[in-house]
Amino acid sequence: MNSSTLQLTEYAPYYSPYIKALGDVNLIEELENSMQNFEEFLTQFPSEKHEFRYAEGKWTIKDIVQHLIDAERVFAYRSLRFARKDETPLPGFDENEYVDATVANKRTLTDLLQEYKAVRLSTLYLFKSFSDEELMYSGIASNYSFTVRAIGFIAIGHQKHHQRIIVERYL
| Confidence bin at 24 (pLDDT 50/70/90) | very high
The full length of the chain comes to 171
**% of the chain at pLDDT higher than 70:** 100
Q: What is the pLDDT of residue 23?
A: 94
pLDDT digits (tens, 9 = 90+) for 53-111: 999 999 999 999 999 999 999 999 999 999 999 999 999 999 999 999 999 999 999 99
pLDDT score of 1 more than 90: no
pLDDT score of 165 more than 90: yes
Q: What is the pLDDT of residue 86?
A: 97
Are 136 and 46 a contacting pair, CB within 8 Å?
no
Q: What is the pLDDT of residue 154?
A: 98
Those residues whose C-beta lies under 8 Å from the C-beta of residue 142, and which sit 6 or more positions away, are 12, 90, 91, 92
Half-sphere exposure of 54 (CA within 13 A, CB side): 9
What is 10-45 written as a DSSP string? GS-GGGHHHHHTT-S-BHHHHHHHHHHHHHHHHTTS
pLDDT score of 164 more than 90: yes
Q: What is the pLDDT of residue 166?
A: 95
Average pLDDT over residues 122-136: 98
| Confidence bin at 114 (pLDDT 50/70/90) | very high
Average pLDDT over residues 32-53: 94
How wide is the angle at C-alpha 28 spanned by C-alphas 135 and 151, nearest 5°?
45
Q: What is the pLDDT of residue 171?
A: 81
Residue 94: exposure state from Cβ atoms within 10 A (0-12, 13-18, ≥19): exposed
pLDDT score of 13 more than 90: yes
| Confidence bin at 152 (pLDDT 50/70/90) | very high
CATH T-level assignment (fold) for domain 3-170: Four Helix Bundle (Hemerythrin (Met), subunit A) (1.20.120)
